[in-house]
Amino acid sequence: MGSKQKLSEMIKSEAKKLGFDACGIAKAEYLKEEARHFKRWLNSKMHGDMKYMENYFHKRVDPTNLVKGAKSVIVVLLNYYTDKEQKDKNAPKISKYAYGKDYHLVIKGRLYQLLKFINNNINNINGRVFVDSAPVLERIWAVKAGLGWIGKNSNLISPVHGSYVFIGVLIIDSELHYDIQTNESCEACDKCITACPTGAIISSKVIDARKCISYLTIEHRGLIPEKYHEKFNSRIFGCDICQDICPWNTKSKKHKITEFEPDPELLKMGKNDWYNLKEEHFNRIFKGSAIERIGYSGLKRNIDFIRK
């Protein structure tokens, strides 16, 4: 079986072979301080319509409630940055992360392969895969696994890859060698706070989701508050403003994941193509993408909002 350090190195090596850009490992333990901050945020109602975030609190802050006997949290990062842009500069804008296939499926597939590798080559263990669709505080675990720190915009910032990264988590019931948390931060920079057009970043690492363009275009149900009409900057799905302005992203490198490549037809869509989008066109272009999640009616609501 080998030493814990050797086992950890084998896992990280396999993660790289599977295409992940980084892999770190943290000890599975109760998140005492984070639980306090998360509870305060929920009590302030800043999560808006995301009522699901109130559920399974005990699981969010303690991985042993997700995997019996959990000992280790393996965290992987997958870069999704692209220099490709929509051709029409005046067209409605979508976030870079939604250009290609749904990241949930892309990352889960690779994580299941990593879990299989651990079982076949290291030890027969119990584990579960998580990708942004379960009660897991992924960014916190990425920090504890030594992969970066939380920026003032609440995104994970990797000193190597910036913030254009997806996070995947694999919790297992076996002890490994744990990485050291970084001491880096961005305390001297406020660019993301001043750049946010709706003032959603109310203080360092505290986001009022009810004001966030990403939340309003994806999670929010019902009409978008009229007061934000002039502040959307033509965005209809997600928002990259606080990431585009971040100095840590100035050297971002293009991803190498085929599934994240945008449909050429998507990039060619002009302003009028978006305004006159039909449901059958939506179903063809966005099949299997993150945008499919809000459906045609949701995207149409966002388009109609910015064109008033």
Paired tokens of 138: 């992924």
In sequence order, what are the beta bridge partners of 237? 94
Is residue 162 within 8 Å of 192, Cβ to Cβ?
no
Of 49, 132, 263, 273, which residue is the catalytic one?
132
Angle between the N-to-C axes of helices 103-121 and 4-17, in degrees from 0 to 180, rounded to the nearest 10? 140
Amino acid letter at 5?
A: Q
Is residue 125 within 8 Å of 305, Cβ to Cβ?
no
Is residue 108 within 8 Å of 210, Cβ to Cβ?
no
d(CA 221, CA 239): 17
Is residue 171 within 8 Å of 130, Cβ to Cβ?
yes
Is residue 211 within 8 Å of 231, Cβ to Cβ?
no
Residue 132 falls in the annotated catalytic set? yes
Counting Cα atoms < 13 Å in the Cβ hemisphere of 184 gives 15
Paired tokens of 249: 């992203």
Q: Specify the DSSP class assigned to residue 200.
A: -
Q: How many CB atoms lie within 10 A of CB 270?
A: 14
Give the Cα-Cα-Cα angle 276, 50, 205 (nearest 5 degrees).
100
d(CA 32, CA 30): 6
d(CA 159, CA 167): 15
Paired tokens of 81: 């940055």
List phi, psi (to 5°) of 149.
-140, 165
Active-site annotation, residues: 132
